[in-house]
Amino acid sequence: MAAMPKLHMIQATYGDCMLLEFPDTSVASKKKFWLVDGGPGNQTRSATFKVTNNSLFATLNSTSLNIDRLERVIITHNDRDHTYGAYALISTLKDAKISVTTGGGSEFLKFVSWLNGYTAMNPITGPKKFPIDHIWFNDFNVLKAASFIDEAADKGTGWLFALLRDFTNYYPFDTFPVINDDWAGGPVVMPKPDTVPDFSNIAKITGPTKDQLVTLWTSKKRRMLGVKSGPPPWKQTALEYKKSKEDATAEMPSSIEKWGTDLETATNRLGDPSETNLSSIMFEFSNSGKRILMTGDGDGDTLYSAYNETSPDPFNIIKICHHGSCHNNNIMHTTDGVAIVPREAIQNSVQRFFSTFRAEKYVISSDTLNRTPNPDIETVTYMGSLFASQPNHPVKAVYFTNGMTYKSWRAFYYASTSSTATQNTSIALKVLKHGYVHQSKADF
């Protein structure tokens, strides 16, 4: 049986960290790998709960996968729960060389770095190649040089640009990736410019738009992109991050409980006000006849416009937008980002998203320990009722990286097994196990 692509969900607690594994059609029995986001890295969540990079490094060092190169690393957007692990991955390759030189040994690398990647970039003979071929990220330097950005004179250096520059200054390579080299150094944007060639295994770029990147550039979030325009993301203190998150979500409802008791007449905001989330790189991955929709923390309206406001053929896997937030997994037909809508419209817009973007399997980067647990109870409630009422919906399973709250489990169960249910009442809800790669993949 021919090898099929797999989507590995690497433990990232409240963040995103995914590995695409697929056959290399040019070399028999060889596989390729793409890393999509790096998770939150080594950050403290509380006095008793700590996120580490061990899951990412354990996956990259897995003997069953034997990953010595990443063909592509895609950082969807500049939020710490997506970027920190990617920063750690690259920076620890340099740190690992220092450790081995000072007697740390290769055992040290198994826990703090990517051993196969480190070995691959230190050949005894032949060219010194960095173990990542291409990096996609709309870095500060990329945006300020874009033709549609008016403030190109803005001072600052992108944190990823600075990291790669420092790496090459420390350790010379014969080949080294340039950010967005596939895009001639320009931003990843939808629609793809005619001057940019088509990409193998990417059927369509589905976000962000130029307008979303312009909005990101002109917002206060721009300072997060540049090391001279504010603290780089990996140096932001926990207090600074907490304050920025509170500012961004101060007026955003996160659960039905916050809407008041009169749910039928309540009105609230719907939509994501975060410029960074809406600037997410989104794309349709295609290999061996299988299709996966990768969405970062983007939104349904952008996806809908990417498919010319039509429903695409069902996907094999959809990674649900923004950890299952109802503010992103909806189709509102608005370009304003946030709208004031009645509760009924919220239900309709969320269900419109899941009836438009159909899949055999949905994957949610969930987190029950967050201040506002993901996924939103609204999302799973309306998903469940929609799946139960649509006889032709292809869904077979919904995967959660870290489970759901009890209220969300209960809401999905009652919605999907209501008296109006006609089909799909046996949808599998699965919590992905972590620490073992073979138990943490959504394959075909």
Overall average pLDDT of the 92-113 stretch:
59
Overall average pLDDT of the 131-159 stretch:
79
Beta-carbon contacts of 165 under 8 Å, excluding residues fewer than 6 positions away, are: none
Q: Which tokens belong to 211? A: 């307008």
- For residue 97, is it within any domain? yes
Q: How confident is the model at residue 157 (pLDDT cuts 50, 70, 90)?
A: confident
- For residue 243, is it within any domain? yes
Question: Of 94-98, 276-280, 401-405, 431-435, which gets the smallest average pLDDT?
Answer: 431-435
- DSSP class of residue 425 equals T
Q: Is the entire prediction scored with pTM above 0.75?
A: yes
Beta-carbon contacts of 90 under 8 Å, excluding residues fewer than 6 positions away, are: 132, 163, 164, 167
- For residue 393, is it within any domain? yes
The packing angle between helices 159-170 and 80-101, to 10°, is 10
d(CA 204, CA 306): 8
d(CA 319, CA 362): 6
Tally of domains within the chain: 1
pLDDT at 249 over 50: no
The reported pLDDT for the residue numbered 155 is: 58
Q: How confident is the model at residue 421 (pLDDT cuts 50, 70, 90)?
A: very low
Residues in the chain: 444
Domain extent, residue 400, equals 6-442
d(CA 299, CA 302): 6
Look at residue 226 and give its three-state secondary structure.
strand
- DSSP class of residue 228 equals T
The mean of the pLDDT values for the chain is 77
Q: Name beta bridge partners: 38.
A: 17
- For residue 94, is it within any domain? yes
Residue among 250, 288, 402, 225 at smallest CA distance from 4? 288
Question: Of 50-64, 90-104, 239-253, 296-310, which gets the smallest average pLDDT?
Answer: 239-253
- For residue 383, is it within any domain? yes
- For residue 21, is it within any domain? yes
Q: Could you give the C-alpha distances from 398 to 238, 366, 387, in angstroms and in order?
A: 32, 11, 11
- DSSP class of residue 440 equals S
The answer to whether residues 363 and 442 touch, using CB atoms and an 8 Å cutoff, is yes
Which residue has 């040089």 as its token pair?
145
d(CA 364, CA 404): 10
Query: pLDDT by residue (tens digit) across 5-36?
Result: 999 998 888 899 999 999 987 777 789 999 99
Look at residue 8 and give its three-state secondary structure.
strand
Query: pLDDT by residue (tens digit) across 275-330?
Result: 899 999 999 999 999 999 999 999 999 999 999 999 999 999 999 999 999 999 99
Residue among 223, 209, 204 at smallest CA distance from 294? 204
- For residue 1, is it within any domain? no
d(CA 85, CA 92): 10
